[in-house]
A = this chain, B = another copy of it.
Amino acid sequence: MVDVLRPTPAPSPGAGEIFQILRDGTARTKAELAALTGLARSTVALRVDALLAADLLRPAGEAASTGGRPPARVAFNPRAGLVLAVDLGATHATVAVADLAGMILDARTRAIDIADGPEPLLDTILADAAELLATTADGLPLVGVGIGVPGPVEHSTGRPTNPPIMPGWDRFDIPAYVQRTFDVPVLVDNDVNILALGEQATSWPQVDDLIFVKVSTGIGAGIIAGGQLQRGAQGSAGDMGHVQVPAGAGSTRPPGDERDLEALASGSALAIALRAEGLDVRGASDVVDLVRAGNPTAIEATRQAGRDVGEVLATVVNLLNPSIIVLGGSIARAGEHLLAGVREVVYRRSIPLATQHLAIVQSQAGDRAAVLGAAIMVAREVLSPASVDGYVAAKAR
């Protein structure tokens, strides 16, 4: 064993790699970039100039001088282009224009019925988008579109796959339809996946293993594991709603009773249960109103829903060992009751090694989390090292 094949860092990152260092928004000098990458100053200078010419970087003032001419700093220019972000729900659609840092510049929400089918709804949304762009674009190029839909999606093609609450959308080619109007990359995903991305980007940027659970009319999860959103082989990953839950300790259900989590703990299920108790409840939003008003029956039902969600999450914790579980959706946001039920079961049931550093928290991102996540999904794609290298090379030709 005279010789040893030892891995050392890659010697030659391209413009795309240098650009990734600046994605955090910190302004840096060429000397700092050379130190961070190990590249020669002359190489850094060439690549920074190319990124400035492509408008992806902007001059950002001067650093403190150590004698002589003060060195110039450069920073990521999030206004190099715009993205369209669309959040399509069962009964609402939000369209937003965002910059490449995911900042929402303008947005519009309208009531819809997802069952109207893809073509009329997308026509309406694209018309909204064109109006928003007309007032916000200011000459900036549109670089991509991200769309969240309330059902499973084959992410590689952007086609919904057997979405239960989206009649008429099965296998519809959403990207091709949108590209007839906006000829840019179009990414489509399940809304819970997009919410997981938005939550991670805004509140937990250092976390690689995060589970986002949405409890509203239905129940679903977005799973980020090993830093990557997990969609699974057919795009149905994160389907928590159809996991069967036995009657656990403390449940009022008869022993041996097993039901889908969604039939136990969703807003729809809570509404049915509360109606059976004689309360005037039509849907999830009435449940939220009752909980907020302090109705003890609604509060206890929500806490039990949390315990049922916790039964499934305890298994998820043992299997995936996440750092953070984020609870979102209208039922989670109605107060701490769902959260309390989840915590009660997960901390009792999961292995100590997996819960030692586990935080279970409420979503902080609010109503715009979905369009934020969609904007981030698209910005990541168009600002990946390979995309940036290609863009810079095209500009230089």
A-to-B contact residues, CB < 8 Å: 1-12, 14, 16, 80-81, 133, 137, 141-143, 152, 161-162, 182-185, 208-209, 221, 223, 225-226, 228-240, 242-244, 246-249, 255-256, 258, 312, 314-316, 318-323, 349-354, 356-358, 381-382, 384-387, 389-391, 393-394
Residues in B whose Cβ lies below 8 Å from that of A184: 4, 6
Please report the C-alpha to C-alpha distance between residue A314 and residue B312 in the assembled complex, in whole angstroms.
11
Residues in B whose Cβ lies below 8 Å from that of A351: 236, 239, 242
Cβ-defined contact, B234 with A226, below 8 A: no
Residues in B whose Cβ lies below 8 Å from that of A235: 321
Residues in B whose Cβ lies below 8 Å from that of A133: 1
Cβ-defined contact, A233 with B208, below 8 A: yes
CB distance from A312 to the nearest CB of B (A): 7
8 A–B pairs (Cβ distance < 8 Å), ordered by A: A7-B384, A12-B14, A162-B352, A225-B225, A228-B228, A234-B321, A237-B320, A255-B255
Query: A137 is contacted by which of B1, B10, B161, B314 (Cβ under 8 Å)?
Result: B1
Look across to chain B and name the residue whose beta carbon is closest to the beta carbon of A235.
Answer: B321
Please report the C-alpha to C-alpha distance between residue A321 and residue B240 in the assembled complex, in whole angstroms.
11
Residues in B whose Cβ lies below 8 Å from that of A208: 233
Query: A321 is contacted by which of B4, B231, B247 (Cβ under 8 Å)?
Result: B231
Query: A142 is contacted by which of B4, B229, B318, B352 (Cβ under 8 Å)?
Result: B4
Query: A10 is contacted by which of B141, B185, B390 (Cβ under 8 Å)?
Result: B390
Look across to chain B and name the residue whose beta carbon is closest to the beta carbon of A387.
Answer: B7
Residues in B whose Cβ lies below 8 Å from that of A320: 223, 230, 232, 237
Residues in B whose Cβ lies below 8 Å from that of A141: 1-5
Cβ-defined contact, A249 with B258, below 8 A: yes
Known interface pairs A1-B142, A249-B258, A319-B223. Does A382 touch B7 (Cβ–Cβ under 8 Å)?
A: yes
Residues in B whose Cβ lies below 8 Å from that of A387: 7-8
Known interface pairs A226-B231, A389-B10. Does A236 touch B5 (Cβ–Cβ under 8 Å)?
A: no
Query: A11 is contacted by which of B323, B381, B389 (Cβ under 8 Å)?
Result: B389
Cβ-defined contact, B8 with A393, below 8 A: yes
Residues in B whose Cβ lies below 8 Å from that of A229: 226
Cβ-defined contact, A234 with B80, below 8 A: no
Please report the C-alpha to C-alpha distance between residue A208 and residue B231 in the assembled complex, in whole angstroms.
11
Query: A319 is contacted by which of B5, B14, B221 (Cβ under 8 Å)?
Result: B221
Residues in B whose Cβ lies below 8 Å from that of A221: 319
Residues in B whose Cβ lies below 8 Å from that of A391: 5-8
Query: A238 is contacted by which of B9, B223, B319 (Cβ under 8 Å)?
Result: B319
Please report the C-alpha to C-alpha distance between residue A99 and residue B9 in the assembled complex, in whole angstroms.
23
CB distance from A15 to the nearest CB of B (A): 10
Please report the C-alpha to C-alpha distance between residue A162 and residue B321 in the assembled complex, in whole angstroms.
15
Cβ-defined contact, A5 with B312, below 8 A: no
CB distance from A197 to the nearest CB of B (A): 14
Please report the C-alpha to C-alpha distance between residue A319 and residue B244 in the assembled complex, in whole angstroms.
12
Cβ-defined contact, A237 with B349, below 8 A: no
Residues in B whose Cβ lies below 8 Å from that of A384: 7
Known interface pairs A5-B391, A12-B14, A236-B321. Does A256 touch B258 (Cβ–Cβ under 8 Å)?
A: no
Residues in B whose Cβ lies below 8 Å from that of A14: 10, 12
Query: A239 is contacted by which of B9, B10, B240, B354 (Cβ under 8 Å)?
Result: B354
Given known contacts A228-B228, A246-B258, A316-B319, what 12 new A-B pairs fall within 8 Å (CB)?
A7-B384, A7-B390, A9-B390, A161-B353, A223-B320, A233-B322, A237-B319, A237-B320, A240-B319, A244-B349, A246-B248, A255-B256
Please report the C-alpha to C-alpha distance between residue A133 and residue B225 in the assembled complex, in whole angstroms.
38
